Amino acid sequence: MAELTHPEVVYSPRSIQLWRALWNWLAFFFQIFLQILRAVGPQSLSTPSHTFKPLPLGELPETTDPPPATVEIPAGTDAISANEPIQKLTVVLDLDETLVCSYETSSLPALLCNQAMEAGLKWFELECVSSDKECEGKLKINYVTVFERPGLDEFLKQLSEFAELVLFTAGLEGYARPLVDRIDTENRFSLRLYRPSTTSTEYQEHVKDLSCISNDPCRIVIVDNNPFSFLLQPLNGIPCVPFSAGQPHDTQLLDVLLPLLKHLSQQNDVRPVLSERFHMLEWFQKQGIPASEALMKAEVTQLQKKDLSAAFIGQIVCLIVYVSFRLLYICSSLTKVVSLLVSLSGSVAGL
């Protein structure tokens, strides 16, 4: 009877093993719970899922769809405060099919020319030096008819009030210099760059590298009808609808581009806004062109979201591996628990 009044003496070792197994089991689930909290974390919970918007069809170079009448500007969270000193936004403008369109006078269809003039498009004729030479070694003179994009003068005037203007064209200087002299009589362009300033890449020739203009990618944008021109800085590019003499009622400059550029002038970093609106990085990747190393190092919101997603996936993988090993351990512990319970039940039944 003394043995029955002190059962802990008889079953103490097995009881200790049982409690240790149960404790390890509870600790295992607690650790899993902590790992899940760390993996999910506040940064992942606060990061919304990203849905890509395709580049608007009206802004692709190969399309002829009519341009949008207004521009939707996303609400930015990186706006500059009223009292904060600000560096002027640098706006790099393309020339042909962005600000003007030009044709060799001898090959310009008379019907197109008459329709454009009757519709009220501003135009002028220009003599420009060709890179080709005549048979006697003299420089060849080409005669060009130039049509200005509607609202060009007012666009440059208003834009120069809050931005520094740079002209960057892939055209030759002999053609572009006299043309720009005609449209920029107020010398609003602080810098003019021509074809020799462009860069050739394995994907495209005559690429316009913005790093030769500014070392601050946060406060510079380029407007060009050809997206491949800003291949090296896709998050700084604004693709615009190409202009031709057959579009006398075009309103891109004043109704679309100017409001967007005003909005960008108030941002500390223009890249998140442009990335959200145009998704040029994804567009280039669809063309088979990967992101450059400079872009991979850029600290922009969209890339930070991708980095967070990759980190989250890595944490999930580590958690799965950890759970797998712990499950093997808990199975072993449960086997011991079952054996102890069977042994205890047998001992109690024997008593």
Confidence at residue 64, expressed as pLDDT on a 0 to 100 scale: 40
**Whether 94 is catalytic:** yes
Lookup: tokens for 109: 């269809």
Q: At what angle are helices 152-159 and 173-183 packed, to 10 degrees?
A: 80
Check residues 327 and 112 and name the one with the higher pLDDT: 112
**Whether 96 is catalytic:** yes
pLDDT at 12 over 60: no
pLDDT of 274-284, one tens digit each?
Answer: 999 999 989 99
Q: How far is it, in rounded angstroms, from Cα 216 to Cα 248? A: 37
Element of type H or E holding 178: helix 173-183
Point out the catalytic residue in the list 78, 96, 132, 250.
96
pLDDT at 306 over 70: no
Pick from 329, 281, 332, 297: nearest CA to 52: 281
User: Domain 57-70+85-306 has what CATH class?
Assistant: alpha beta
CA atoms within 13 A on the CB side of 198: 21
Q: How far is it, in rounded angstroms, from Cα 140 to Cα 188? A: 30
What integer is the mean pLDDT of 308-323? Answer: 66
pLDDT of 198-247, one tens digit each?
Answer: 999 888 899 999 999 999 999 999 999 999 999 999 999 999 999 999 99
Check residues 325 and 110 and name the one with the higher pLDDT: 110
β-pair type (89-93, 163-168)? parallel
The maximal CA–CA distance of the chain, rounded, in angstroms, is 131
Whether residue 117 contacts residue 123, with contact meaning beta carbons closer than 8 Å, is answered with: yes
What integer is the mean pLDDT of 68-88? Answer: 53
Distances (CA, A) of 28 to 25, 117, 317, 325, 331: 5, 81, 18, 11, 12
pTM of this structure: 0.62
Point out the catalytic residue in the list 65, 94, 184, 250.
94
